[in-house]
Amino acid sequence: MADPAIIPALPAEEYERRERRVNSSLQSLWDLLDAVKDPEIPAVSLWEMGILQDIAMQGDRVIVTITPTYSGCPAMTVMAEDVLQALADAGYADSEVVTRLSPAWSTSWMSEEAQDKLREYGIAPPGQGGGNEPVEVLCPRCHSDEVRRLSEFGSTACKALYQCSACGEPFDHFKPI
């Protein structure tokens, strides 16, 4: 378990992403896009997952920048379509979604709210660890640490399939990246 006395540093890319939103003159568009959910995990928004990177205007055109959780993410097309639909429904017919691959997305970009929502949805969040340090995986249902990995891949490539020995339930664990 992570030491509660240690406060993890926010990665520079995530700090900059949050600053872009806070300092944006397009706050109503950020708020509008908070309703766009991750199609594979509809309990969390693209913002909460760290996927929604920036919103800009070029004349009357809205430009939205998103970063996939990994470069082969099959949900990117649906995410872009959902963003464009939300904007069109709000009267922004001239919009574009740009995919940015660098810097690469990291699970450290997920908000605490997103991690809580993942647990409530039945997915173990990425947790802490890395390098040679093992990542602690807790069952999202009963919070037991008596779990075992059944498969390196779960319902999507960014998740692994686990089973809890305490309650017997299978669950996905979002892999830390």
Same domain, 55 and 137: no
* Measured distance CA(164)–CA(166) in Å, rounded: 5
Same domain, 102 and 161: no
Q: Taking 90 as the threshold, does the pLDDT of residue 133 lie above it?
A: no
Q: For residues 143 and 131, is the Cβ–Cβ distance under 8 A?
A: no
**pLDDT range class, residue 1, cuts 50, 70, 90:** very low
Same domain, 73 and 104: yes
| pLDDT confidence of residue 36 | 98
Same domain, 48 and 86: yes
36 within some domain:
yes
CATH number at residue 19: 3.30.300.130
* Measured distance CA(51)–CA(21) in Å, rounded: 13
Same domain, 89 and 33: yes
| Domain range for 133 | 123-174
Domain count, the chain: 2
3-state secondary structure of 84: helix
Longest CA pairwise span in the chain (Å): 57
Same domain, 138 and 167: yes
Same domain, 127 and 95: no
Burial level of 5, CB count in 10 A (0-12/13-18/19+)?
exposed
Q: Taking 60 as the threshold, does the pLDDT of residue 128 lie above it?
A: no
| The residue type at 176 | P
Same domain, 98 and 148: no
48 within some domain:
yes
Q: Which pTM was predicted?
A: 0.86
Q: For residues 94 and 126, is the Cβ–Cβ distance under 8 A?
A: no
Across 20-52, b (16+ Cβ under 10 Å) vs e yields: bbeeeebeebbebbeebbbebbebbbbbbbbbb
Same domain, 80 and 134: no
pLDDT digits (tens, 9 = 90+) for 92-120: 999 999 999 999 998 988 988 899 999 99
Q: Taking 80 as the threshold, does the pLDDT of residue 4 lie above it?
A: no
Beta-carbon contacts of 20 under 8 Å, excluding residues fewer than 6 positions away, are: 53, 54
Q: Average pLDDT over the chain, rounded to whole? A: 90
Q: Taking 70 as the threshold, does the pLDDT of residue 6 lie above it?
A: no
Q: For residues 65 and 37, is the Cβ–Cβ distance under 8 A?
A: no
133 within some domain:
yes
**pLDDT range class, residue 136, cuts 50, 70, 90:** confident
Which helix (H) or strand (E) element contains residue 16?
Answer: helix 12-22
pLDDT digits (tens, 9 = 90+) for 13-71: 888 999 999 999 999 999 999 999 999 999 999 999 999 999 999 999 999 999 998 88
| pLDDT confidence of residue 158 | 86
| pLDDT confidence of residue 7 | 56
